């Protein structure tokens, strides 16, 4: 057991609606550039959504992409980018000791809907049902596709944590490194949710699907006129290592993962609970051995649902109400809600603050809801901060799951 070892991030790979690498993504967050556009959803029509435009064939052959899944393609892009950015030479490692841990909201809906739609075109003749359906829809598919693509032999699976799952991938990767089960871990989360009609239809049935004449303004957390979620695809995966191992190979360390917590509200299928969210934040702070005032940036989960944003802001005030130097932002205002990829992708957008000294803003808040007022909320333009040492990243999900991670500027 290696419970005391420090866990560091040495590579970040991502695809988002407003950037397919960390530099572009960060520049657009600082520049106020939304990635939300109109997307034609089957049976539903034109709908605001966050769509990724990465080159699927950069790391996959055409046949592999056809056989695989959209979530797998997202994961493969992110994994390859992360490995490249970390300057990790996989040939120098025992590939049986490289783990892949990917958070997902769901998996298989897209492929099943597509298959049903396709066989319907042939009068439901199941002779047209693809023999690839089962490997496409198993829950471990995105992680498995990464292992096939990179030739990895270690433990690889997905963690279902609703919209808290991106953080779960990071947390589990750190735990496996500390337990000595692997020497290198790829952890984070991915989402292909916009390819599923059912996800949009369900949010619409809840009256929780965003509507706006301008798609770039549809995702508007904390605004008095917010009216629902903008579904998004995308994700981020990180190369995580034990600090001593990273230093031994001369790696550049991006940041350090020092605290985390996961809990459940135990109260409702969909509606979040401030008490559970408060407990999750406090648990992550305890694990990181930090007081609330030590946090410099809070990346909120806020999804632009009327009740969800209010409940989260209430929890934040309970924990950070006496911390005037804490800055608060929201990344979904730029990219929508990437579901299982949200936590990992939103964290990535805040990591560069350690070096550039800027807190990216929340956009589309034209009329701040008084119930969502927070001390330190950054709106419209980036906020400079003399020194940024700690980022708290929060993600919450249906059935009351909450997750939070604390990331620290690396210090020797």
**60 contacts 67 by C-beta, under 8 angstroms:** no
Q: Considering Cα of 142, then 146, then 151, then 153, what sign does the dihedral take?
A: negative
CA distance 354 to 348: 11
DSSP-derived letter for residue 322 is T
Q: Identify the burial level of 201 via C-beta atoms within 10 angstroms of its C-beta, where 0-12 means exposed, 13-18 middle and 19 or more buried.
A: middle
What six digits make up the tokens of 98? 């490289």
In sequence order, which residues have a C-beta less than 8 Å from that of residue 116 and are 6 or more positions away? none
Torsion angle, alpha carbons of 216, 219, 221, 226, to 10: 100
User: Between vectors from CA 102 to CA 99 and to CA 107, what angle results, nearest 5°?
Assistant: 135
* Residue carrying structure tokens 């030739």: 151
3-class state of residue 46 by DSSP? strand
Q: Which two tokens stand for residue 397?
A: 């999900």
H runs (alpha helix) in 191-305: 197-205, 243-248, 274-288
- DSSP per-residue string spanning 163-195: GGHHHHHHHHHHHHHHTTS-SEEEEEEEE-GGG
Give me the active site residues, please.
163, 301, 337
Q: In whole angstroms, how large is the CA radius of gyration of the chain?
A: 20
Measure the CA–CA gap between 215 and 286, rounded to whole angstroms.
Answer: 40
SS3 content of the chain, % helix, strand, coil (to 5): 40, 25, 35
Rounded Cα distance, 253 and 65, in Å: 32
């Amino acid at each position: 057991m290696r419970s005391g070892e420090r866990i560091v991030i040495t590579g970040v790979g991502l695809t988002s609606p407003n950037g397919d690498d960390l530099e572009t993504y960060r520049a657009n967050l600082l520049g106020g550039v939304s990635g939300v556009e109109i997307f034609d959803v089957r049976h539903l029509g034109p709908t605001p959504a966050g769509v990724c435009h990465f080159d699927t064939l950069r790391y996959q052959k055409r046949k592999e992409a056809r056989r695989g899944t959209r979530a797998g393609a997202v994961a493969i892009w992110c994994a390859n980018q992360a490995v490249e950015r970390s300057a990790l030479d996989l040939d120098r490692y025992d590939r049986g000791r490289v783990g892949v841990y990917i958070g997902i909201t769901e998996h298989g809906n897209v492929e099943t809907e597509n298959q049903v739609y396709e066989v319907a075109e042939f009068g439901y003749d199941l002779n047209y049902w693809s023999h690839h359906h089962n490997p496409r829809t198993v829950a471990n598919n995105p992680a498995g596709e990464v292992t096939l693509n990179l030739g990895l032999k270690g433990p690889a699976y997905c963690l279902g944590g609703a919209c808290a799952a991106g953080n779960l991938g990071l947390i589990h990767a750190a735990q496996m490194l500390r337990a000595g089960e692997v020497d290198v871990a790829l952890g984070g989360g991915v989402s292909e949710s916009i390819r599923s009609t059912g996800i949009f239809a369900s949010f619409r049935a809840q009256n929780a699907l965003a509507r706006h004449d301008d798609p770039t303004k549809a995702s508007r957390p904390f605004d008095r006129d917010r009216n629902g979620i903008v579904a998004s695809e995308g994700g981020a995966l990180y190369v995580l290592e034990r600090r001593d191992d990273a230093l031994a190979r001369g790696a550049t360390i991006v940041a350090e993962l020092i605290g985390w917590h996961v809990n459940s509200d135990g109260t409702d299928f969909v509606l979040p609970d401030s008490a559970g969210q408060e407990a999750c934040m406090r648990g992550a702070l305890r694990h990181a051995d930090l007081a609330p005032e030590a946090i410099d940036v809070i990346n909120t989960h806020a999804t632009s649902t009327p009740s969800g944003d209010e409940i989260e802001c209430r929890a934040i005030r309970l924990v950070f109400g006496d911390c005037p130097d804490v800055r608060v932002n929201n990344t979904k205002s730029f990219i929508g809600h990437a579901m299982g990829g949200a936590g990992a992708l939103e964290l990535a957008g805040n990591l560069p603050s350690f070096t550039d000294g800027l807190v990216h803003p929340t956009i589309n808040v034209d009329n701040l809801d008084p119930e969502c007022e927070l001390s330190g909320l950054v709106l419209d333009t980036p906020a400079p901060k003399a020194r940024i040492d700690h980022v708290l990243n929060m993600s919450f999900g249906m059935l009351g799951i909450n997750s939070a991670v604390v990331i620290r500027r690396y210090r020797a």
